[in-house]
Structure 1
Amino acid sequence: MSEKGCIKCGSTSAETKDVAMTGTGLSKMFDMQHNEFTVVYCTNCGYSEFYNKQSSAGSNILDLFFG
């Protein structure tokens, strides 16, 4: 039987945030934030995982994070 929850503390409480980040080169120089990610983080210890926003939906990401 596999355990579910945060891999650091075991908590089953998590939330998500959408973030945008710059890349390298000109996008960094002009602060063009074209890299978008969904961050899933444990509300107990703060452990976070970043998922490319283009490849996953928010509900599927929580399933990946918590099994």
Structure 2
Amino acid sequence: MKDSKGCIKCGSTDADSKEVAMTGTGLSKMFDVQNNQFIVVFCKSCGYSEFYNKKSSRGSNIVDLFFG
């Protein structure tokens, strides 16, 4: 198996991240309560994205997880 780093779709090492919030289901969706927080890491070259739960990803480098 090849040990490569970079985007799994295009191989680029140019990535960025941002925080996003989303509604859940049920009442939170009906009242537009955005209580689910994520960090999205995306490849600047091809746009491939991965979402990570913000609460469980504290203390780790998310971009390192994206690149393997």
- Return the TM-score normalized by structure 1: 0.94
Conserved? CA contact 1:38–1:58, under 8 Å: no
**Runs of 4 or more off by more than 6 Å in structure 1?**
none
Change (3 A) 1:58 1:41: farther
- Quote the residue 1:63 is aligned against: 64
Aligned AA for 1:55? Answer: S
Q: CA RMSD in A?
A: 1.4
Q: Percentage identity across aligned positions?
A: 75
Aligned amino acid, residue 52 of structure 2: Y
Structure 1: gaps (5+ residues): none
Count, aligned residues:
67
Aligned pairs for 1:1-67 (under 5 A) are 1-57=2-58, 60-67=61-68
Secondary structure of residue in 1 paired with 2:40: strand
Q: Which segments of 5 or more consecutive residues in structure 2 lack a partner in the other structure?
A: none
